[in-house]
Structure 1
Amino acid sequence: MKFGDIELDAALGARLAHTVRLADRVLKKGAVLDRDAIDSLRISGRTQVAAAMIEPDEIDENEAASRVATAIAGPGLDVSAATTGRADLVATDNGLLVIDRAAIDRVNFIDEAITVATLPPDVPVAAGEVVATIKIIPFALQSTLLDQLPTGAIELRKLHPLRALLVQTESNATKQSVLDKTREVTELRLKALGSSLVGETRCTHEIKSIAEAIVTADVDLILLVGASAIVDRRDVIPAAIESVGGVIERYGMPVDPGNLLLLARYGTIPIVGMPGCARSPALNGIDLVLRRLAAGLPLDRMVIARMGVGGLLP
């Protein structure tokens, strides 16, 4: 792309580099100079204009933005019409935003002329929300730069309704108001993800009582919160899970608040031993786990281990 001061005689079809205000009109930055625009510039006394001339092997900024956006858009996303070198990816439904970070890095590494900015990964988004924007910095770029674009790097995962059971253990010191508040907060947390709390069991903080609640559950998800926090893999709640043949997949997560979360399974039913902070509606580790479960995304000890970057929650 040729860029700089161009003689008006050679400026037909060039892109105006900066907005020019004339006596009778305003020529905006990026405008393609036609004969009328050039005549207006001559009348104003100019002989040159700061502009960019696109070469035959280059593509226009809007075409480039559209091509990048179309390539990286996966299921659940629409591509907006490109203007001024910018195209957006827009959610077509409510869901969880899933991003291949390495793929987006590859796009941004291609050339400084190509930029992709996204929302943080693994966050719930609403229909119509802009989840990423693609901006081409110059007016044009070499078409060959787009030959190796990754595909489907950003997608929207629909949230599937989960039927959850809340099991709360209690001791002599447990206040019923605390249990009531925990149920209310949990209901709201699940509702925000399109899921529901279909039952609650309150039992003593003992292995046998917790085990009975687990084996009689007919749900998609079991949420366990104890009268006291889980402090070890051999504590009461994990011991109750293992006593009925359940498997402890991960105890502890690199997310704060939420460090003391337990992930387990009883057959095909995921079990989450909730940290004490889950009694609060504030963002914490349980939200990160529930989002992935509702979106049907893999969730195991390695996935949780990778949550450390960004795991210090506000």
Structure 2
Amino acid sequence: MKRMKTTEAVGQVLCHDITQIIPGVTKDAVFRKGHIIREEDIPVLLSVGKDSVYIWENDETMMHENDAAEVLYRMTANEHMHPSDVKEGKIEAIADTEGLLKVDREKLKKVNAFGEMMIATRHGNTVVKKGDKLAGTRIIPLVIKKDKMQEAEKICDGTPILKILPFTVKKAAIITTGNEVYHGRIKDAFTPVIEQKIAEFGAEMMFHEIFDDNDRKITDGCLRAIEAGADIVFCTGGMSVDPDDKTPLAIKNTGAEMISYGSPVLPGAMFLLSYYRKGDKVIPICGLPGCAMYNRRTIFDLVLPRLMAADPVTADELASLGEGGLCLNCKVCTFPNCGFGKGW
């Protein structure tokens, strides 16, 4: 690559895109990499501020920005994704399916700390839909040493930074608890909320029973739901610390592994997560606090996508939700396009 005065570059081959920016009208390349400069191109180049241009000279030790972007894309993207066209040295990863986006943060940080290159992604553990933009990649200079790109590839070691987990949990059980609902004193308003939210992930309720505050009955209901084929069990009601709230005890007595009773999220502090193992199958059993029934967004909205993608949630991950775990209850809710729950 060499630099030449624009007025002397007729017949030469451009080694990079030339971008024209007209505010409110366009931001696009007026000439693409590989364009052979003609006499009539000179005024256009000068009008976009290019008194000099970079002309391609073959150098086996260097890699052009477009080729480097291809390398960065391979380091970033996985199955269920496809690349955009290369434009001005940048390639974007586009989702081919709906699912849960996972980001290997350590690898992403190492690549971005390596110098002269960058990968920008969406937040991990968020829902993406087909056609969504997931990441953008490019190098910072126009050309980069090939051996540096080869060293960068070793960071990923054949395992890309991104992956999409399709939603696989389809059959849900709801165990409604509480004397007031069981005896018909109030209407069950919780179950319709859960049904609506799981339907967004292609799941449906296949088992539903209502119990009074009897922990043995609740335990039995959970186990019968699992025997009936439930992929996930939601228990509603009885999640506070009142002596007559027996749902946490009932879930524990199923034999499920208790991950956490309590979360650093408001609304949602009394959330319970456990996993019941039946052979090779792992079935989440969740205790949902009352806030999930009447608040627009709660811990339930943060955890549900991961449960629907069969992505195991750890106690440490739940603990990390403290930063960003305070919902501001905005008058106009923009979730998930806000900071709520982006801490894990």
The normalised TM-score by structure 1 is 0.82
Q: Is structure 2 residue 267 aligned with structure 1 residue 257?
A: yes
- Partner SS state of residue 201, structure 1: strand
1:71 paired to 2:85: no
Q: Distance in 2 between matches of 1:106 and 1:181?
A: 48
Aligned to 1:109: 113
- For 1:108 and 1:233, the matched residues in 2 are separated by 52
Q: Mapping of 1:191-210 within 5 angstroms?
A: 191-210=199-218
Q: Does residue 274 of the first structure (1) align with residue 277 of the second (2)?
A: no
Q: In the superposition, relative to structure 1, how do residues 305 and 231 fare at CA in structure 2: closer, same or farther (>3 Å)?
A: same
- 1:13 paired residue number: 13
1:1-314 alignment runs, 5 A limit: 6=5, 8-9=7-8, 12-14=12-14, 15=16, 19=20, 28=30, 34-37=36-39, 40=42, 49-53=51-55, 56=59, 57-111=61-115, 113-147=116-150, 148-149=152-153, 150=156, 151-172=159-180, 179-217=187-225, 218=228, 219-226=230-237, 228-231=238-241, 236-268=246-278, 269-280=283-294, 282-313=296-327, 314=340
1:233 deviation in Å?
A: 11
Deviates more, 1:85-94 or 1:264-273: 264-273
Larger CA deviation: 152-161 vs 255-264: 255-264
CA–CA separation in structure 2 for the residues paired with 1:232 and 1:247: 23
Q: 2 CA distance for matches of 1:232 and 1:37?
A: 84
Alpha-carbon spacing, 1:6–1:307, altered in 2? closer, same or farther (3 Å): same
Residue 267 to residue 71, structure 1, CA distance change in 2 (3 Å): closer
Secondary structure at the aligned position of 1:121 is classed as: coil
Segment of structure 1 superposing worse, 197-206 or 277-286: 277-286
Q: Which runs of 5+ in 1 are unaligned?
A: none
Q: Deviations over 1:63-118 (max 9, x none)?
A: 2212211221112111122111111111111111111011111221122x422221
Deviation at 1:290, TM superposition (A): 2.2
How many pairs are equivalent? 303
Judging changes above 3 Å, is the alpha-carbon distance between structure 1 residues 157 and 244 closer, same or farther for their aligned structure 2 residues? closer
Q: 4+ runs of 1 displaced by more than 6 Å? A: 173-178
Change (3 A) 1:179 1:92: farther
Instruction: Classify the secondary structure of the residue corresponding to 1:222.
Output: strand
| Counterpart residue type for residue 6 of structure 1 | K
For each residue in 1:269-307, what CA deviation from the matched residue of structure 2 results, as whole angstroms up to 9, or x when unmatched?
321011222214733212232222221222232332333
Which structure 2 residue ranges, 5 or more long, are not aligned?
A: 23-27, 328-339
RMSD (CA atoms): 3.4
- Once the two structures are overlaid, the 10-residue window that deviates more, 186-195 or 231-240, is 231-240
Hey, what's the Cα distance between the residues in 1 that align with 2:80 and 2:243?
A: 39
Give the 3 Å change call, closer, same or farther, for CA 229–298 of structure 1 in structure 2. Answer: closer
In the alignment, is the contact (CA less than 8 A) between 2:180 and 2:186 conserved in 1? no
